[in-house]
Amino acid sequence: MRITIPYKPRPQQAYLHKCLKGYRYALLLCHRRLGKTTCVLNHIIREALTNKNHNPRYGYIAPTYKQAKSIAWDFLKHYAKNIYGTKFNETELRADFINGSRITLLGAESADSLRGLYFDGIICDESASIPASVIEEILTPSLTDRRGFMYLIGTPQGMNNIFYEYYLKAQGNKDWFLYTAKATDTKIIDQEELDNALEMLGQAKFNQEFLCSFLGNQPGSIFGKEISDLDDRQNITNVPFDPSLLVHTAWDIGWNDSTAIIFFQEIGHQVNIIDCISDRNKPFPFYANLLKEKEYTYGTHYAPHDIEVSEFSSGRTRRETAYEYGIRFSVAPKTLKEDSIHALKMILPRCKIDVNNCKPLIDALRHYHRKYSEKDRVFKTKPVHDWSSHFCDSAMVLATSFKEQRLANVNRQKTAISEVKLI
């Protein structure tokens, strides 16, 4: 039976249809208004009609049920309306085909409703807003017995999400099809409209929505401007280790959580951040050994003030524990969080950060943010505590220690001058 669907793919869509046939996993990083949702819906309609398995099942997953309905339901009905025997269930957002296949639109916010289902194929739309646990713990297992496919589509929303993680995973991976479509390459949107969008959105948001950039600053970003300025001045670059200089470290110590360590060198008033490491749920000897394995000659190790806290199990302070493993800490002054943030904002313009060794630190500084209150229509004062907090806290230890050290040097100079005058 010949079936005509009211769909004429654009060249980019036709290319995707051709490529997707050969892959079980795909990530489509596309600019707004490309027509990616239309493309993937028609792809799974074709798959549903040609699948020879018993009762094939396909899922279109959006971050919420409401989004699934508003984005895809009308499209699905439009493209499947001419297919003989198709039945649409408005309550369950479901299209049932005469061969027993079914396409269902679902929302990721109702994770429990997704458990126990099986799929021959899944489309995750606006994937950056879908929780990682839903994709990894619920959707992926639902494909196993049918060896179903999964396609993640969307535009970037920073780096702290499953979409970015899979973007990294897909690079150079033969099992994945990775496709990036920037508006400046596809030419689907004319230049005048792009210029208007740039004016309305600003450069960072425009880069995210139309140039498929993951580097746009997080809304409420605390250090976003400083990092963008470093980018503009090309101070996020290759920063070589100078063996003639001491290497200092700044720590955020999580004894039962993440620990983050920054390695830096001072050249006059310039701070070269050359390296960083982090891990979680590791004992202190683990980090002491990591430091020994590096070729650095160490200067001062800076730690936050809570290193003076005694451990319940041993009765010793964390500082005493570190001393046993050859790490002699200088304790950063205790300051209010806002003062620490201000100190880091002041020192970042004097920094160069290694683009390769310090990528986790750079990502964290871009992401660190305040939560927006929809009720009050303001950003909250307290920063959000998440994956980015540990590296940002260690950077604030660097900044406050550096400030304290400079003040001490100034005071010593003043004292010396006064003594000279007295003589």
Where exactly are the structural domains of the chain? 11-210, 224-412
Dump pLDDT digits (tens) for 355-393. 999 988 998 898 888 887 877 878 888 998 888 899 999
Per the prediction, the chain carries an average pLDDT of: 89
The answer to whether residues 262 and 401 touch, using CB atoms and an 8 Å cutoff, is no
The share of the chain scoring above pLDDT 90, in percent, equals 66
Q: Which residues contact 243 (CB under 8 A, 6 or more apart)?
A: 295, 297
Q: What is the pTM of this model?
A: 0.63
Dump pLDDT digits (tens) for 260-302. 999 999 998 899 999 999 988 888 889 999 999 999 999 999 9
- Which range is least confidently modeled, 69-73, 106-110, 213-217, 345-349? 213-217
Report whether pLDDT(17) > 80: yes
The CATH number of the domain covering residues in 224-412: 3.30.420.280
Superfamily of domain 11-210: P-loop containing nucleotide triphosphate hydrolases (3.40.50.300)
The answer to whether residues 83 and 49 touch, using CB atoms and an 8 Å cutoff, is yes
CA 131 – CA 80 distance, rounded (Å)? 30
Supply the pLDDT for residue 8. 93
The answer to whether residues 306 and 319 touch, using CB atoms and an 8 Å cutoff, is no
Task: Check residue 381 and report its DSSP letter.
Answer: E
Quickly tell me which residue has 């990775």 as its tokens.
178
